[in-house]
Amino acid sequence: MARLVPQVGPTQPAINHMKPVIVIALSLLLCSCADMYVTKTDVATPGGRTAGAIDAKDYGSKGIHMITNCGVGASNPSAIYIRPFCIDTAVFKGDEALSDGEMPIRKALSPVEFANDLKEQLEKIAPARILKDTQAPRTGWLVEGHFQMIDGGDPYARFFAGCFGAGQSFLALHVRITDVDRHTVVYEFDMAGGSRFQGRHGTVRASGLGRATHFDLVNAAERIYLTLSANPYRYGERASVSLPE
């Protein structure tokens, strides 16, 4: 008769050794998410004095002391006006069109597409409107800026080695928010991001084998909304207020 041998699980030291591996794996997973990020910011406050630049890549910026009107930032605009971003000096390359002859058209239409994406997002803050060339804002905020690079990447490289970073799309732009009533630039920041380590299948935020720039523009518009909102995810909200005695 066969003797049953009880199975012994991993020892505690083995589990402890696995923890760093799990943490590293989770970190890589989070870092691989396709998204846009603010890389550098200048902030002005209602007092009209401007804060020092805060660079996400500069660890020394954490020691900057802002000399402002109590450090209170601009918020709750009565209206938001969007001027299509300039793209004339931007680098435009990668998977953007079916042929080289179509590339100038796609480049010229990218600001129009982004303005619509931005309007859809910023309407969550205040009534938003896209300005025409001959129009000027009357009140509230004016959102404008310029593209620095739009790179659609290579979908075939993403298919075979996208998980290793091949064929990444990339989008870089500069955003400026002006308080029209006070004639003051209240926020000014750089943004960058793209498909990152997304493979052939993509995600909700990345195209996979599709045209990645459309996803990058939507991600950038959403990131601008999140950046300009005080609590966009509604953290801390409660259905009822009950404090312990």
- Name the DSSP class of 4: P
Stated pTM of the model: 0.72
* Average pLDDT value for the chain: 77
pLDDT digits (tens, 9 = 90+) for 198-241: 655 555 555 555 678 898 999 999 999 999 998 887 888 777 76
Q: What is the pLDDT of residue 67?
A: 42
Distance CA 3, CA 98 (A): 69
Residue 131 reports pLDDT greater than 80: yes
Q: For domain 77-230, which CATH number applies: 2.30.30, 1.10.8, 2.60.40, 3.40.50? A: 3.40.50
Domain residue spans of the chain: 77-230
Cα–Cα distance measured from residue 109 to residue 114, given in angstroms and rounded to the nearest whole number: 9
Q: What percentage of the chain reaches a pLDDT higher than 90?
A: 44
Residue tagged 């609590």 (tokens) = 231
**pLDDT value at position 50?**
47
